[in-house]
Amino acid sequence: MLEQKVALVTGAGRGIGRSIALRLAAENMFVVVNYFGSASRAEETVKEIERTGGSAKAMRCDVSDFAACGEMIQEIVKEFGRLDVLVNNAGITKDGLLMKMSEEDFDKVLDTNLKGAFHCIRHSARQMLKQKKGRIVNISSVSGVMGNAGQANYSASKAGLIGLTKSAARELASRKITVNAVAPGFIDTEMTEVLSDAVKAAAASQIPFGEFGKPEDVAEAVAFLASEQAKYITGQVICVDGGMAM
């Protein structure tokens, strides 16, 4: 069994997930860098962690696939003997107005963002229950807290994650497993890069801080919730949003 704590971060090849992986590695955790489409970027994240003296491994898995998540987590437990931290970060958008949204676009977003987190929690919880300890952090969104026109599917998935967080927190509390959510506002990543300048300006005008956040801002909140210091915090939603959803 590894002496180091082991963390699994889904969708950690780029964006917020990558920052979270680097931040947890800086806490001396062994990080499993999950990816789906971008193998080379996941390998780059691993190399970056190794360059800074940490250790990590990339693992491919589509989080929307229940059985594949089970296999990935079984492999982690078999290889490292433990799983201490799970960060459900993988997420997608397929934006559009409700009246034009296809059933496929609704399902796809729910399958990745909400069911993906359920799949990973469902398979990780067994090991954490055995260890009588664990930290689960789900990356929600201010869209899930406030709603957002043009994101009915995404908002539903991110609000669903908050319900999932609170129910799992209640179920797992007796074994000292904490489950919390972090709800980022607008953060500078590839997900927001696609927005037009006009949409970005309109978004920034709704943020009391007047600007988008950085992936590192989200990673700091996740690192805290994953730490020993956060042992008495569970079922909470921390918004990292420059004051947007207060």
The verdict on 3 binding ligand NDP (CB under 6 A) reads no
How many residues bind ligand NDP (CB under 6 A)? The answer is 29
The verdict on 55 binding ligand NDP (CB under 6 A) reads no
The verdict on 118 binding ligand NDP (CB under 6 A) reads no
- Active-site residue 154, yes or no? yes
Long-range (24+ apart) CB contacts under 8 A made by 187-193 are 187/15, 187/16, 187/212, 187/213, 187/214, 187/215, 187/217, 187/218, 187/240, 188/212, 188/213, 188/214, 188/215, 189/14, 189/15, 189/16, 189/215, 190/14, 190/15, 191/15, 191/91, 191/93
Given the residues 36, 154, 186, 212, the one annotated as active site: 154
Q: Within the chain, what is the greatest distance between any pair of CA atoms?
A: 53
Write the DSSP symbol of residue 136.
Answer: E
Binding residues for NADP(+): 11-14, 89, 154-158, 187
The verdict on 192 binding ligand NDP (CB under 6 A) reads yes
Cβ-based nearer residue to ligand NDP, 150 or 175? 150
The verdict on 112 binding ligand NDP (CB under 6 A) reads yes
The verdict on 54 binding ligand NDP (CB under 6 A) reads no
Cβ-based nearer residue to ligand NDP, 93 or 231? 93
Judge residue 104's burial from the number of C-beta atoms within 10 Å of its C-beta, 0-12 exposed, 13-18 middle, 19 or more buried. Answer: exposed
Binding site for ligand NDP (CB under 6 A): 10-11, 13-17, 34-38, 62-64, 89-92, 112, 139, 141, 184, 186-187, 189-192
